[in-house]
A and B are shown apart, each in its own frame.
Chain A
Amino acid sequence: MKKINFKILMSLVLLALCLGACKDKEYAIPTASDKLQNDLIKRSLGPNIVGGTIEFAYAAGILPEKGKLTSMTVEASIAGATGTYLDHRFYNTNNSGVDVGTAVGDPSVTTGKTTQVTYTGDFSAATLRYFYKIPEEARGKNISFTFTAKSSNGETISYQSGPHEIRNMDMALDLVAKDGTDFYLSIADMKMYNATFATANPDKIDLVYLYRAPTNVTYLHSLVAPTADPVYLPTFTMPTALKNKTKIVKAFTVRDQQLARLQFGVFVDDVDLRSKDFTDAPDFAINMRAEGGIWVQTADGKYNAYIYVNSVNNTTKEMRLSIKRLTVR
Chain B
Amino acid sequence: MKKIFIFQLILVLFVIAACKKDFPMDDDGLLITNRSDCYVSAFELLGADFQTVRTKAATIDTTAQTINVEVFYGTDLKNLYPQFSLVIDAVLDPKIVGKVDFSDLSKPKEWTVVSGNRKVRKTYKVYLTVKQ
Binding site for B on A (CB under 8 A): 216-219, 222, 232, 249-253, 280-282, 284-287, 292
Nearest chain A residue, comparing its CB with the CB of B75: A286
Contact B72 A250 (CB under 8 A): no
Q: Enumerate chain B residues within 8 angstroms of A216, measured Cβ to Cβ.
A: 73, 131-132
* A282–B73 CB distance below 8 A: no
In the assembled complex, B76 has its CB within 8 A of some CB on chain A: yes
The interface residues of chain B lying within 8 Å CB-to-CB of A253 are 49-50
Q: Judge whether A219 and B76 touch: CB under 8 Å.
A: no
Whether A217 contacts B50 by the Cβ 8 Å rule is no
Q: Is the CB of B131 within 8 A of A250?
A: no
- In the bound complex, residues from chain A placing their C-beta under 8 Å from that of B48 are 249-251
CB-defined contacts of B79 to chain A, threshold 8 Å: 249, 280-282
Q: Using a CB–CB distance below 8 Å, which chain B residues touch chain A?
A: 47-51, 72-74, 76, 78-79, 101, 131-132
A133 vs B74: C-alpha distance when bound (angstroms)? 42
Residues of B within 8 A of A284 (CB): 74, 76
Q: Which residue of B lies closest to A284 (CB)?
A: B74
- A/B interface sample: 12 pairs, CB < 8 A: A216-B73, A219-B74, A250-B47, A250-B49, A251-B48, A251-B49, A252-B49, A252-B50, A252-B51, A253-B50, A281-B76, A286-B72
Known pairs A249-B79, A292-B49; list 11 more (Cβ under 8 Å).
Answer: A217-B74, A218-B73, A218-B74, A219-B73, A232-B74, A250-B48, A250-B76, A252-B50, A284-B76, A286-B74, A287-B72
Q: Which A residues touch B51, using CB under 8 A?
A: 252
Bound complex: CA of A250 vs CA of B73, how far in Å? 14
In the complex, how many angstroms separate the beta carbon of A230 from the nearest chain B beta carbon? 13
CB–CB A286/B73 < 8 A: yes
Q: How far is the CA of A69 from the CA of B101 in the complex (A)?
A: 67
Given A249-B48, A250-B47, A250-B49, A217 and B72 contact (CB-CB distance below 8 Å): yes
Which residue among B74, B79, B131 has the maximum number of chain A CB atoms within 10 Å of its CB?
Answer: B74
- CB-CB under 8 A from A281, the residues of chain B are 76, 79
Report the nearest A residue to B79, measured CB to CB.
A280
Expressed in whole angstroms, the minimum distance between the Cβ of A206 and any Cβ of chain B is: 18
The 4 A-B pairs at the shortest CB distance, nearest first, are namely A286-B74, A217-B73, A252-B49, A250-B49
Closest partner residue, chain B, to A250 (CB atom)? B49
Residue of A222, A249, A251, A280 near B74 (CB, 8 A) is: A222
Nearest Cβ distance between residue A214 and chain B, in whole angstroms?
9
CA distance A284 to B132 in the complex (A): 16
User: With a CB–CB cut-off of 8 A, which chain A residues contact B76?
Assistant: 250, 281-282, 284
| Nearest chain A CB to B46 CB, angstrom units | 10
Residues of B within 8 A of A218 (CB): 72-74
Report A314 CB to chain B, min CB distance, Å.
17
Q: Are A280 and B73 in contact (CB under 8 A)?
A: no
